Amino acid sequence: MTIKVGDTMPSGTMHTMTADGPNEVSAAELFGGKKVVLFSVPGAFTPTCSAKHLPGFVQNADAIKGKGVDTIACMAVNDAFVMGAWGDHQSVGDKVLMLADGAAEYSTALGLELDLTGVAFGMRGKRFSLLVNDGVVEQVNVDEDGFSSTSAETMIEQLG
């Protein structure tokens, strides 16, 4: 079942890269007591994700955080090493938390997994964005094809 407005975020873990190596991040830790924008891309270093999706959130991080958002997080079905390298390549700094959902477990828990085995990508996460307030979903945007409703600009409009 796909996550929807009013639902509580599922439990689970993701990983982020630190100076000491991969670090586990629980959903409870990420979403508890905070307003979080979580967006997901089908894969690090892929064309639209690298040219538009992630850069949009990096460029608009101050505007988004200025609307009361504590954390902006980017998730992809890649390992923490790849997500860390992509974050470095995109100069995200501390603007966007780069989260690895290595086996698509969290994407699947959200009901937002994407089977791209037919094009040799394996299981991935759909392109989506969520606004989560203290673990409760306030906004769900999913792009089934292309890139429009999950952009940073759309999230800024939705934040008011």
**Catalytic residue status for 49:** yes
Annotated active-site residue in 37, 41, 49, 58: 49
Query: Judging by beta carbons within 10 Å of its beta carbon (0-12, 13-18, 19+), is residue 11 exposed, middle or buried?
Result: exposed
Q: Is 28 helix (H, G, I), strand (E, B) or coil?
A: helix
Q: Judge contact between 152 and 64, C-beta under 8 A.
A: yes
Q: Judge contact between 1 and 38, C-beta under 8 A.
A: no
C-beta pairs of 116-122 under 8 Å, 24+ apart in sequence = 116/42, 121/42, 121/43, 122/77
Q: Which residues are catalytic?
A: 49
